[in-house]
Amino acid sequence: MTTGATVWLTGLPSAGKTTIAYELAGRLREEGHLVEVLDGDEIREFISAGLGFSREDRHTNVQRIGFLAELLARNGVKALVPVIAPYTDSREAVRKRHQEGGAAYLEIHVATPVEVCSVRDVKGLYAKQAAGELSGLTGVDDPYEEPDSPDLRIESQDQTVQESVAAVHALLTERGLA
């Protein structure tokens, strides 16, 4: 039986969270771990459909994802969660749920600067915001509260995806989770 854990990757849109999560998932599966990626975009489409992007709706979305992640982690699955989760109180509520349930929780801050994210612009969000077609973009005209003391901070602009994955894997290994 494998030890479950939640690996929460927080950061701005286009920071590299999802890319890192899927690469890490592949590596962990090759090692025999049970792994699920709880992609924020997929969760919004299927579990949080109808929620908007107000602070309250964002909090509700994060709590739903946190519940699923903790449930998976308690049952031996590595839940990789690439979700913006812009508010400290929302992330702390998820951490607390894990602590109360006895599930391991690691917060990874993919600390890519907004200038780099806007160049990557994977979904075209920064371009839409600049053109006035979108408002409430996290890190631009809506707040992103950076974690004060994440378990790991990744500066994806300064390393390859493989190096980022290796750093997260090393942390999991150090904590006895990989």
pLDDT at res. 119? 95
Percent of the chain topping pLDDT 70: 99
Quick one: residue 14, left, alpha or beta (phi over 0 = left, psi -120 to 50 = alpha)?
left
Residue 2 has pLDDT above 80, yes or no: no
- pLDDT tens digits, residue range 28-72? 999 999 999 999 889 988 999 889 889 999 999 999 999 999 999
pLDDT at res. 75? 96
- pLDDT tens digits, residue range 68-116? 999 999 999 999 999 999 999 999 999 999 999 999 999 999 999 999 9
pLDDT at res. 41? 86
What is the crossing angle of helices 88-101 and 55-74, to 10°? 20
The DSSP 8-state label assigned to residue 148 in this structure reads S
Q: What angle do CA 83, 88, 93 make, to 5 degrees?
A: 85
- With CA atoms as reference, report the closest residue to 151 among 167, 166, 162, 165: 167
Residue 1 has pLDDT above 90, yes or no: no
pLDDT at res. 91? 97
pLDDT at res. 96? 97
- pLDDT tens digits, residue range 127-141? 999 999 998 899 999
